[in-house]
Amino acid sequence: MSNGVVNGDIVVEANNLTKVYEGHTAVDHISFTVKRGEIFGFLGPNGAGKTTTFLMLLGLSEPTEGYARILGMDPFKEPLKIKRMTGYLQENMGFYRDLNAIQMLDFIAELNGIPEDEKMERIERSLEAVGLLNQAKKKIEAYSRGMRQRLGIAEILLKEPKVALLDEPTLGLDPDATNRMTDLILGLSEEKGMAVILSTHLLHHAQKICDRFGIIIGGKLVALGTMDEIAEKKLNIGEKMYTLEEVYMKYFEEG
């Protein structure tokens, strides 16, 4: 787990966050906070409301009720500021596949106003951190899924944001690539001090690296807390004789 949490240093806040689409409540009055340097596991089945929540936190979708704050700012009212201070790894990264990694990151650097005299150094440092520097001139269309996911982390490192939202970053990766991605996520928290919100179905990996968890089912946040807190609430277990998967399935079955 990460060790960078600073008490009282809240950088993400969701307060009664709600989204209704044509009469369907996709996200139903959820509230949580995330602190600087914390890895927050945002767990739930497909269609539970995880991606919709991410879109509201990023200012890409307006809440029906409630509000979100990133570093004290309203994402919907200040979307450009939020985009520069957050990194977002989507389930399917949308890179220009006819560019190489350096060209892609150069374009992203331009969009984010990174100074010209810093740009190339930051690009190379980001690619080196994710193990892609030696393949930086290969076109992205030739990259494997794992390489594209690592390029997504390089983009986050390039921007040096305060908050990173990672939506299924290990989806479709083989075990070796999954372990490398897990190490990269830990590095965002421990070395860079970022707050990380991680959506994943790999619960054993989440248990290893996350400080706290939120479980969302049917748009409702049914559990919030540390591993011990959510286990004790549902299983009445005081000792660490359980797995996150066991706890998660208990909430899912009763959700």
What does the pLDDT look like over 142-165, one tens digit per residue?
999 889 989 999 999 999 899 999
Residue 113 lies in a domain: no
Angstrom distance (rounded) from CA 27 to CA 16: 9
Q: Count how many domains the chain has.
A: 1
* Residue 235 structural domain: 10-93+161-254
Tokens 């390029």 identify what position? 151
Is 133 a member of any domain? no
> What percentage of residues in the chain have a pLDDT greater than 70?
95
Residue 20 lies in a domain: yes
With contact defined as beta carbons under 8 Å apart, do 193 and 228 qualify?
A: no
For the chain, counts of helices (H) and of strands (E): 9, 9
Q: Is residue 38 situated within a structural domain?
A: yes
For residue 216, give the CATH number of its domain: 3.40.50.300
Q: CA 111, CA 101: separation in Å to the nearest integer?
A: 15
Q: Is residue 26 helix, strand or coil?
A: strand
> What is the model's pTM?
0.89
pLDDT tens for each residue of 183-199: 989 998 998 899 999 99
Is residue 212 a part of any domain in this protein? yes
d(CA 219, CA 52): 9
